[in-house]
């Protein structure tokens, strides 16, 4: 490892995507995992938050930077190099009444379904023929809109819906979480100019973090 790489601070961009990435104070699952990765890799990583669409643009245009909690797509593959999976997640339709266990049921229901602005989920919904889609900037807004009936369903990670309802002071037991319709990988990715040596250290560090007992302690703390 070069002395320059040891001396330089690496910026890692993420969005406001609770409970994976919450904010500077409350951190989040992926943020705490990235801190473990930095520790294992022996790298000085500065985590910076921005609205998700902007976080991706910043990472794309900041040489040597990282991006995390990114889903893999062919479009993103052109802009970033994917290093390693940080976390595996399940996504479902969340409602307050009838369960929606499949994309077909979502289409047939005619319900207005909310997704996070800039997320890959809006593309997934349209691919399966769901047309009543509303893209909303934050998970906080989404949970309030679901509670007040401004959207009928929320397509999101199951752990996110429960976390956000609890954070907003709503009862998460009132949520009807359908069967998982997609399984996702939240990746650690990087700007295409990232030093290959740094990439190698990060990849090895993620593998070690997966075997660290603290990994599941972090996940459990935000999930219950």
Cis preceding-peptide flag for 224 (omega within 30 of 0) = no
In this structure, the answer to whether residues 163 and 57 fall within a common structural domain is no
Same-domain status, 15 and 78: yes
Please identify which residue in the block is written with the tokens 């009807």: 176
> Confidence band (pLDDT; 50, 70, 90) for 118?
confident
- Number of structural domains, the chain? 2
Is the predicted pLDDT of residue 86 greater than 60, yes or no? yes
Using only the alpha carbons of the chain, give its radius of gyration.
18
pLDDT confidence tier of residue 36, bands split at 50, 70 and 90: very high
Q: Are residues 50 and 21 in the same domain?
A: yes
Helix segments in 12-155, DSSP class H:
29-41, 52-61, 74-79, 103-109, 121-127, 139-147
Same domain, 192 and 124: no
Looking at the fold, whether 58 and 28 belong to one and the same domain comes out as yes
Residues 47 and 31 in one domain: yes
17 and 81 part of one domain: yes
Residue 1's pLDDT band, with cuts at 50, 70 and 90, is: very low
Residue 123 sits in the same domain as residue 190: no
Mean pLDDT of all residues in 36-55: 96
Considering the domain architecture, whether residues 93 and 23 belong to the same structural domain is answered as no
CB distance 158 to 182 below 8 Å? no
What are residue 65's phi and psi, to 5 degrees?
Answer: -90, 170
Number of other CB atoms surrounding residue 190 within 10 Å: 24
**% of residues, the chain, pLDDT over 70:** 96
Neighbours of 61 (CB within 10 A): 10
Q: Is the pLDDT of residue 2 over 50?
A: no
Q: What CATH number has the domain bearing residue 61?
A: 3.40.190.10
List the domain range (segments joined by +) for residue 146: 89-182
Residues 66 and 112 reside in one and the same domain: no
């Amino acid at each position: 490892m070069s002395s320059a790489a040891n001396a330089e601070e690496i910026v890692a961009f993420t969005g406001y995507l609770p409970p994976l990435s919450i904010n500077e104070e409350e951190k989040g699952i992926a943020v705490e995992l990235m801190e473990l990765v930095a520790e294992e890799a022996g790298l000085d990583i500065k985590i910076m938050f921005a609205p998700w669409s902007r976080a991706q643009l910043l990472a794309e245009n900041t040489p040597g930077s990282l991006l995390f909690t990114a889903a893999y797509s062919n479009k993103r593959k052109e802009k970033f190099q994917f290093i390693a999976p940080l976390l595996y997640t399940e996504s479902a339709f969340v409602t307050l009444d009838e369960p929606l266990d499949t994309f077909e049921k979502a289409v047939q229901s005619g319900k207005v379904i909310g997704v996070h602005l800039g997320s890959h989920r809006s593309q997934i919904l349209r691919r399966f023929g769901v047309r009543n889609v509303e893209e909303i900037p934050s998970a906080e807004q989404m949970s309030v809109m679901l509670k007040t009936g401004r959207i009928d369903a929320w397509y999101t990670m199951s752990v996110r819906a429960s976390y956000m309802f609890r954070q907003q002071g709503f009862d998460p037991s009132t949520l009807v979480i359908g069967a998982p319709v997609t399984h996702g990988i939240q990746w650690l990715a990087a700007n295409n100019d990232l030093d290959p040596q740094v990439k190698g250290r990060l990849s090895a560090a993620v593998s070690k973090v997966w075997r660290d007992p603290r990994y599941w302690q972090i996940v459990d703390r935000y999930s219950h």
